[in-house]
């Protein structure tokens, strides 16, 4: 068996062939966030200072890649790569992974390991469910419910699906479409070439920054050059591998709404929507989503995954719900118990932050709890 720890991009890049070997890419679930280019782009832009600590094991055709990063603040902590950008996390695997995954816990020196945003069909979740506490050696396990993830199963035909939605909701969207058509040359488009992708990506950045300012929210992540570079790099790679789907509205030669999505297998992952605030009265977000869902019915897509968060605009489409989970492994020593206590405190703070953001409290009170979690 080959077993090693990868700490550089060069070491990770040498494993690209595993995503394309003759036996298929990697065992399900094959989320976008486990794609080779996602891992490489994230590690390149956000894992400086030798934070990478990726465990790789291989025996014949079976392999496991555990994409971890160090976060020693203030305890010796490790978590799955992808904070802030990966809606789902998991282990990259082909074949059997249980034995090398459990063996990993015998050698790791961290006080606490964070496995956040796991789906119930994730590899890590399945191992935890079928293992005993003692299988993880000197670590104890904590399982917590995380955010939930809405999705739509694409079944039947488009008209049949529309009949299951609230009549007023669909009538309002169709009225907004007529209003947009009355303004001039109105088109629904899907990016067809890399030049178009670059233009639409830049529009996405600008609209995201604009919306944050209008709503009085924290600064857009796209005000940072490193975040723009990350998404530009990722989009170019995924477009050339036919996994990027960029949908947008063009009105009189101006892009007024954008939705960045990813198509893996027969699942469309709805990742990042934006729109121009000047067209807010036309419900461009919901209207664009109407066209995207219709596109899925016409192009053999089997599911639209809205990813993390139960925003009302997602639920309006008769979405079903997946529960995501956070799993923590903390060491049975003083450092582990203290790290676990800190984790519990941060969970409480995040709960309060989320709860208070939905109440009519004044901004000054709400920001107190927002600052506690940063």
CATH number at residue 169: 3.40.630.30
CATH number at residue 23: 3.40.630
In sequence order, what are the residues at sequence separation of 6 or more whose Cβ sits closer than 8 angstroms to the Cβ of residue 306? 149, 150, 151, 152, 270, 314, 319
Q: Is the same domain home to 45 and 131?
A: yes
3-state DSSP assignment of residue 119: coil
In a domain, 342, yes or no: no
Q: Residue written as tokens 């990027």?
A: 244
Q: For the packed helices 36-46 and 225-240, what is the interaxial angle rounded to 10 degrees?
A: 160
Prior bond to 74 cis, omega within 30? Answer: yes
> Over 277-323, what HEC string results?
HHHHHHCHHHHHHHHHHHHHHHCCCCEEECCCCCCHHHHCCCCEEEE
CA distance 86 to 36: 13
In a domain, 58, yes or no: yes
In a domain, 370, yes or no: no
Domains contained in the chain, number = 2
SS3 of the chain: helix, strand, coil, percent, to 5: 45, 25, 30
List, for residues 85-109, the tens digit of each pLDDT value.
999 999 888 877 888 889 888 888 8
CA distance 118 to 29: 11
Answer yes or no: are the C-beta atoms of 339 and 112 closer than 8 Å: yes
DSSP annotation of 346: H
Task: Tell me whether residue 189 is exposed, middle or buried, using C-beta atoms within 10 angstroms of its C-beta: 0 to 12, 13 to 18, 19 or more.
Answer: middle
Answer yes or no: are the C-beta atoms of 228 and 40 closer than 8 Å: no
In sequence order, what are the residues at sequence separation of 6 or more whose Cβ sits closer than 8 angstroms to the Cβ of residue 23? 61, 94
Domain membership of residue 198 as a residue range = 155-301
Q: Is the same domain home to 220 and 290?
A: yes
List, for residues 167-188, the tens digit of each pLDDT value.
999 999 999 999 999 999 999 9
List, for residues 306-348, the tens digit of each pLDDT value.
998 888 999 999 999 999 999 999 999 888 888 888 888 877 7
Helices (H) and strands (E) in the chain, counts: 12, 14
Q: Is the same domain home to 159 and 212?
A: yes
Answer yes or no: are the C-beta atoms of 12 and 54 closer than 8 Å: yes
List, for residues 249-288, the tens digit of each pLDDT value.
999 999 999 999 999 889 999 999 999 999 999 999 999 9
Q: Is the same domain home to 124 and 216?
A: no
Q: Which residue has the higher pLDDT, 358 or 78?
A: 78
Answer yes or no: are the C-beta atoms of 320 and 155 closer than 8 Å: no
CA distance 327 to 113: 8
Q: Is the same domain home to 141 and 247?
A: no
Give the per-residue pLDDT at 148.
92
Q: Is the same domain home to 49 and 162?
A: no
E-state strands within the chain: 2-6, 54-59, 62-66, 68-70, 77-80, 92-94, 112-118, 139-153, 186-190, 244-251, 254-264, 267-275, 303-305, 320-331
In a domain, 315, yes or no: no
Of 336, 329, 333, 289, whose CA–CA distance to 313 is shortest? 289
Which among 47-51, 127-131, 293-297 has the top mean pLDDT? Answer: 293-297
Q: Is the same domain home to 20 and 137?
A: yes
Q: Is the same domain home to 144 and 6?
A: yes
- High-pLDDT (> 90) share of the chain, %: 55
Task: Tell me whether residue 159 is exposed, middle or buried, using C-beta atoms within 10 angstroms of its C-beta: 0 to 12, 13 to 18, 19 or more.
Answer: exposed
The CA-based diameter of the chain, rounded to the nearest angstrom, is 68
In sequence order, what are the residues at sequence separation of 6 or more whose Cβ sits closer than 8 angstroms to the Cβ of residue 97? 62, 64, 91, 123, 127
Give the per-residue pLDDT at 368.
47
In a domain, 172, yes or no: yes
In a domain, 340, yes or no: no
Q: How many CA atoms lie within 13 A of 310 on its CB side?
A: 11
List, for residues 10-29, the tens digit of each pLDDT value.
999 998 888 865 334 445 55
Q: Is the same domain home to 52 and 36?
A: yes
In a domain, 307, yes or no: no
> Over the chain, what is the mean pLDDT?
87
Give the per-residue pLDDT at 18.
81
Angstrom CA distances, 290 to 119, 153, 201, 281, 283, stand at: 26, 15, 21, 16, 11
In a domain, 362, yes or no: no
Q: Is the same domain home to 206 and 279?
A: yes
Q: Which pTM does this prediction carry?
A: 0.90
Which among 66-75, 295-304, 362-371 has the top mean pLDDT? Answer: 295-304
Q: Is the same domain home to 144 and 178?
A: no
Of 264, 247, 249, whose CA–CA distance to 183 is shortest? 249
| Weakest mean pLDDT among 42-56, 176-190, 355-369 | 355-369
Q: Is the same domain home to 12 and 104?
A: yes
pLDDT over 90 (residue 226): yes
């Amino acid at each position: 068996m080959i077993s090693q720890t990868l700490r550089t991009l060069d070491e990770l890049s040498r494993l690209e062939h595993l995503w394309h070997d003759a036996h298929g890419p990697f065992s399900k679930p094959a989320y976008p966030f486990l794609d080779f280019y996602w891992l490489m782009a994230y590690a390149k832009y956000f894992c400086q200072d030798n934070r990478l600590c990726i465990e790789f094991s291989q025996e014949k055709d079976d392999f496991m890649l555990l994409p971890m990063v160090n976060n020693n603040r203030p305890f010796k902590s490790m978590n799955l790569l992808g904070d802030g950008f990966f809606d789902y996390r998991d282990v990259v695997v082909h074949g059997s992974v249980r034995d090398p995954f459990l063996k990993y816990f015998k050698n790791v020196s961290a006080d606490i390991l964070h496995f956040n945003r796991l789906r119930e069909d994730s590899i890590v979740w399945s191992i935890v469910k079928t293992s005993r506490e003692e299988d993880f050696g000197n670590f104890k396990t904590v399982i917590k419910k995380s955010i939930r993830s809405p999705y739509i199963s694409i079944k039947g035909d488009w008209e049949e699906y529309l009949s299951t939605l609230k009549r007023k909701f669909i009538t309002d969207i169709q009225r907004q479409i007529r209003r947009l058509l009355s303004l001039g040359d109105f088109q629904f488009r899907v990016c067809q070439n890399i030049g178009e992708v670059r233009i639409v990506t830049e529009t996405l950045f600008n609209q995201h920054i604009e919306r944050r300012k209008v709503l009085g929210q924290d600064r857009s992540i796209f005000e940072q050059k490193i975040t723009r570079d990350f998404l530009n790099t990722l989009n170019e790679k995924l477009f050339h591998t036919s996994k990027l789907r960029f949908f947008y509205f063009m009105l009189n030669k101006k892009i007024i709404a954008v939705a960045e999505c990813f198509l893996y297998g027969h699942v469309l992952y709805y990742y990042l929507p934006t729109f121009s605030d000047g067209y807010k009265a036309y419900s461009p977000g919901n209207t664009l989503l109407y066209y995207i869902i219709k596109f899925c019915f016409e192009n053999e897509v089997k599911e639209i995954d809205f990813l993390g968060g139960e925003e009302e605009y997602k639920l309006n489409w008769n979405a079903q719900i997946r529960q995501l989970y956070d799993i923590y492994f903390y060491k049975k020593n003083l450092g582990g118990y203290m790290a676990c206590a800190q984790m519990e405190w941060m969970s409480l703070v995040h709960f309060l932050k989320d709860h208070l953001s939905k109440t009519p409290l004044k901004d000054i009170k709400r920001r107190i709890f927002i600052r506690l979690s940063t």
